[in-house]
């Protein structure tokens, strides 16, 4: 019988490479380890959010999923180097993962920061946030759970706000004030850091499930 990549001591030994769901599909139980408080980040990039949040909130289990293998493995290596014990970094399709793997009413929060807006019509099907994904975010959130969405593209911010209100019963968007950075890496993601260093606006919203 094939052994799951999640051994009993997995959380004491963070992996240096992301678990590739294309090569090794896993069940929700294998990934979440039956944790009660779980948060999902869609499109984890280099892993700055996961690093910061997991160290600040050790009682929460974080799952990150990133389509690009290069960035998924870079994020996993970052989490390994910083000894982040309460994170699972996945390489995979977030849309498929939400739709097929994540059960109803299991997530405390879903985070999606600076997703590619894919403005050209022929590329819009690549958007990670579409009608199905927004519906699955609502389905997988617990009562009182939150969907966090940040972007530096105003048109995309307005589009996702309208689509979320149209496609779901989530309350919001609620305004999120900008937090002043206390050190050079005190940002939600590397994209936010770059935008704010270049004096570009960042648009933030939180939606809440009743």
CATH value at residue 59: 3.40.50.150
Enzyme catalytic residues: 116
Tell me, yes or no, whether 2 lies in a domain: no
- φ, ψ of residue 41 to 5 degrees: the values are -110, 125
As a whole number of Å, the CA-based R_g of the chain is 16
Higher pLDDT, 14 or 54: 54
Tell me, yes or no, whether 73 lies in a domain: yes
Query: Do the Cβ atoms of 126 and 120 come closer than 8 Å?
Result: no
Tell me, yes or no, whether 50 lies in a domain: yes
Share of the chain above pLDDT 90, in %: 71
What does the block give as tokens for 175?
């305004």
Range of the domain at 145: 10-208
Q: Mean pLDDT over all residues of the chain? A: 88
DSSP 67: S
Tell me, yes or no, whether 162 lies in a domain: yes
**Domains held by the chain: number:** 1
Tell me, yes or no, whether 5 lies in a domain: no
pTM of structure = 0.89
* Percentage helix, strand, coil for the chain under 3-state DSSP, each rounded to 5: 35, 20, 40
Q: Which residues sit opposite 119 in a β-bridge?
A: none
Query: Do the Cβ atoms of 55 and 47 come closer than 8 Å?
Result: no
Tell me, yes or no, whether 188 lies in a domain: yes
Mean pLDDT of 9-35: 83
Tell me, yes or no, whether 4 lies in a domain: no
């Amino acid at each position: 019988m094939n052994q799951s990549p999640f051994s009993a001591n997995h959380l004491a030994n963070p992996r240096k490479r992301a678990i590739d769901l294309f090569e090794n599909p896993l069940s929700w139980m294998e990934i979440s380890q039956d944790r009660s408080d779980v948060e999902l980040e869609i499109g984890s990039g280099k892993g700055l959010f996961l690093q910061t949040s997991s160290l600040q909130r050790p009682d929460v289990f974080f799952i990150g999923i990133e389509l690009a293998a290069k960035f998924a493995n870079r994020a996993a290596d970052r989490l390994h180097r910083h000894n982040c014990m309460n994170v699972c970094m996945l390489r995979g399709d977030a849309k498929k993962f939400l739709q097929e793997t994540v059960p109803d009413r299991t997530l405390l929060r879903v985070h999606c920061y600076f997703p590619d807006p894919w403005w050209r019509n022929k590329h819009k099907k690549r958007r990670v946030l579409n009608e199905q994904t927004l519906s699955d975010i609502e389905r997988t959130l617990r009562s009182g759970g939150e969907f966090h969405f940040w972007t530096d593209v105003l048109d995309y911010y307005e589009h996702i706000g309208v689509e979320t209100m149209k496609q779901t019963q989530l309350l919001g968007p609620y305004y999120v004030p900008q937090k002043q950075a206390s050190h050079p890496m005190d940002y939600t993601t590397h994209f936010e850091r770059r935008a704010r260093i270049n004096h570009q606006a960042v648009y933030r919203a939180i939606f809440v499930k009743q």
